[in-house]
Amino acid sequence: MWMTQCKPLGNLIMKQPVSPSHCAIDTSMPGDPVAIVRPHLRDSTLLVVGGDERAGQLVRLRGELGLRDAVWASTRDSDPTPRRFRSLIRNPRLTLVVLLEGLIRHQHARDVASLCEQSGKPLVRIWRSPNPVAVAHAILSQASRRLALPIMN
Consecutive H or E run containing 90: helix 83-90
**Which parts of the chain have pLDDT scores under 70?**
1-30, 77-80, 146-153
Q: What pLDDT shows up at residue 85?
A: 85
Amino acid at residue number 45: T
Q: What pLDDT shows up at residue 112?
A: 93
Q: What pLDDT shows up at residue 115?
A: 94
Q: What pLDDT shows up at residue 30?
A: 57
CATH number of the domain to which 6 belongs: 3.40.50.10700
Q: Say what the pTM is.
A: 0.75
Residue 91's domain spans which residues? Answer: 2-25+32-152
Using only C-alpha atoms, the chain has a radius of gyration, in whole angstroms, of 15
Q: What pLDDT shows up at residue 124?
A: 94
Q: What pLDDT shows up at residue 149?
A: 58
Cα 108 from Cα 67, distance rounded (Å): 25
Considering its fold, how many domains does the chain have in total?
A: 1
Q: What pLDDT shows up at residue 142?
A: 87
Per residue, what are the HEC states of 18-79? CCCCCCCCCCCCCCCHHHHHHHHHCCCEEEEECCCCCHHHHHHHHHHHCCCEEEEECCCCCC
Amino acid at residue number 8: P
Average pLDDT, the chain: 78
